[in-house]
């Protein structure tokens, strides 16, 4: 096996069958981020610099709260998927599985904490 070319070693391994699905997920989240990030920047900037009561009143309105929540969820899911690709490319074996679980757990914990903070702020 030492003298085989890279092509011969890969032949018969088959495709992972997840590439197209992942590509479309990333394209959809990227398209959503094109619209959400500027909206978030403007809504966040508008609420910036106020007193605590003004910020509470601002995020009690539905539009800033929804934009912030959607941006948080889409950004973190996009980050988790991109980290998953990097881990699959460069880490192998048990470390790969543990890393994938850790990244997913961190991402969903971040989403939960962010949404909890936003709900506490908005209500």
Q: How high is the pLDDT of residue 12?
A: 66
* Banded model confidence at residue 81, pLDDT cuts 50, 70, 90: very high
User: What does the pLDDT read at residue 61?
Assistant: 94
Global confidence as pTM: 0.84
Q: Residues 6 or more apart from 84 whose CB is under 8 A from it? A: 100, 103, 104
Position with higher pLDDT, 14 vs 91: 91
In this predicted structure, the answer to whether residue 15 has a pLDDT above a threshold of 70 is no
pLDDT average, residue stretch 81-97: 94
Whose CA is closest to 115, among 79, 77, 82?
77
Hey, where are the domains in the chain? 36-122
Evaluate whether 29 touches 76 at the Cβ level (below 8 Å): no
């Amino acid at each position: 096996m030492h003298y085989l070319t890279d092509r011969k070693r890969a032949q018969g391994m088959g495709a992972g069958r997840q590439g197209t699905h992942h590509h479309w997920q990333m394209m959809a989240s990227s398209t959503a981020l094109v619209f959400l990030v500027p909206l978030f920047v403007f809504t966040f900037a508008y609420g910036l610099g106020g007193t605590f009561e003004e910020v509470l009143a601002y995020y009690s309105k539905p539009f800033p709260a929804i934009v912030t929540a959607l941006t948080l969820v889409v950004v973190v899911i996009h980050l988790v998927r991109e980290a998953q690709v990097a881990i699959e490319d460069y880490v192998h074996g048990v470390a790969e599985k543990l890393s994938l679980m850790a990244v997913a757990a961190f991402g969903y914990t971040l989403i939960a904490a962010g949404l909890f903070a936003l709900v506490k702020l908005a209500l």
